[in-house]
Structure 1
Amino acid sequence: MSQIVGILLAAGSSRRFGADKRLHPLPDGTPMALASARHLAASCSRTIVVIRPDDTALAGLLAAEGLETVVCPAAEQGMGHSLARGVAATADAAGWLVALADMPYIQPASYRAVLHALQGGAHMARTVFDGNMGHPVGFAAKHLPALLALTGDQGGKAILGADPASLVLCPVDDPGALKDIDVPQQIEATGCLAGAILE
C-alpha cells in the first residue's frame, strides 16, 4: 500500500540570515534543519530531506539520524525545483506532507492534522492558525504531474491556488505553523516554543 511521504525542503541559500541557517543551533543546541527533519519524520513513516549538491555537513548530520536525503542539482533556481525533485524521488507515494527546514517550531499535532486530512481523502491540505494559512502543506497523488512540473521559487503555491475548493484547512492551536526563521533574532524570539515542540 502506498504511503504518504514527508518531504523537508532544506536546499535554500539563507541569504537574509547571513550564514547557513539550516546548521544554526536552536536554543537547545540542535541545528535548525535537523530539528525540522526530526519533527516531520516523527509523523511520516518515510521522510526525505531535499538538499543542495554541496551540503556535505548537513548530509552527514541527517545520515547520522538515519534520515534519507535527495540532492537537487537545480536548488539555486528556487523552491519549486526542490519540491519537484523530492516528489520525483518518491513518485509512487500516495501523497506528500511538505515542510520547510526553517520552520522548526511546528507542533507535532500540526503535522498530524494535515497527514490525517490526506489519509481521509483530501486532495490538498494545510494548517490554519489564527485565520492565517500555515505549514505543513499536503498534496495527494493526483497532483503528481503538477508537482513534477514545478520550477522557480513558487513551491506548491500555484497548485494550491488553482483549485481552492479542494483545499482542506486544518485549524491548529500552533503559532509555530506560521513562524519561519529568516534572521537570527527570530530564533531568540521563538525559542520559548522549543520545549512544547519536544514534549
Structure 2
Amino acid sequence: MADVIALILAAGQGRRFGSDKRRALLTDGRGLLATCVAQARQVFDAVWVVLREDDDPAVLGLPADQPVIRCADAQQGMGHSLAAGVQVLLGRPESALAVLLGDMPWIDPASLRQLVQASDAEHIVFPLHRGQRGHPVLFGRQHWSALTQLHGDQGAKAVLAAHESAWRAISLDDPGVLRDVDTPQALG
C-alpha cells in the first residue's frame, strides 16, 4: 500500500530463545524472519528491516533487494532500534509507518490491509484480538519524531501512552496479531 511504509524490527538478541531465532525454521521449513518479511511485502510497497550492524541479510534468508537499516545500538533495546529505523525513514513521503516485529509470522495479510485502511497521518492504529492489543502498530506521520527519541527496551510504549487520544483500535479475528516466538516451542 503506497501511503504506508513498513518497518520490521529484527535487531534484538532474542535471549529467551537460546539462539538466533531470526534463522529458526517454522514447521513449514521457512525461516522466521524471512517469513515475516515475505508477509509484509505482500501488503506494503516499501518494507525496511532493522538489523544489527554485523548481520548478514542473506544468512537471515532475506531477499537480495531487501532494504535494511543498521542499528549500532541494537543491544541497548528495541527503543534504540525503532528510533534508528524511523530516523532513516523521516524523509519518506508516506503518511503512516507500520511497525512490525520480526518474530510474528502468523499475521494474516488481510489483517494488515485492514489496519492500513484505518491509518492516516494523525492516528496510532493497532489491532485488538478478543480485547487484547496486538501488533503491528501503525503510527501516523505526526508521531514519527517522537519515535526517533526512543531508547531502552520499552519500544514505543511511551509514545502510545503520551498520545492516547490518537488511538484507533481495530478489532480483528486474527490471533496472529498476538502470537510471537520467544522460545523454540513457540515455532509450532
Which bracket does the TM-score occupy, shorter chain normalised? over 0.9
Measured on the aligned residues, the alpha-carbon RMSD in Å equals 1.6
> Are 2:137 and 1:137 aligned?
yes
Deviation at 1:116, TM superposition (A): 1.1
The CA distance in 1 between the partners of 2:58 and 2:158, in whole Å, is 29
**TM-score, structure 1 normalization:** 0.88
Structure with the higher helix share, 1 or 2:
1
1:77-112 residue CA offsets vs partner (Å, 9 max, x unmatched): 000111111111110332200100111111112211
Deviation at 1:31, TM superposition (A): 0.7
**TM-score, structure 2 normalization:** 0.93
Deviation at 1:144, TM superposition (A): 1.9
Partner of 1:126: 126
SS of aligned partner of 2:33: helix
Structure 2 gap ranges (5+): none
Deviation at 1:57, TM superposition (A): 4.9
Partner of 1:92: 91
Deviation at 1:166, TM superposition (A): 1.1
Partner of 1:175: 175
Percent of paired sites with the same residue: 39
The CA distance in 1 between the partners of 2:36 and 2:53, in whole Å, is 20
Does the C-alpha gap of structure 1 residues 59 and 168 become closer, same or farther in structure 2, counting only changes over 3 Å?
farther
Deviation at 1:59, TM superposition (A): 6.2
The CA distance in 2 between the partners of 1:11 and 1:57, in whole Å, is 11
Runs of 4+ in 1 over 3 A off after TM superposition: 57-60
Structure 1 gap ranges (5+): 189-199
1:109-150 residue CA offsets vs partner (Å, 9 max, x unmatched): 22112211114x551000000110001100011012201101
Deviation at 1:61, TM superposition (A): 2.6
Deviation at 1:29, TM superposition (A): 1.1
Q: How many residues align?
A: 185
SS of aligned partner of 2:126: strand
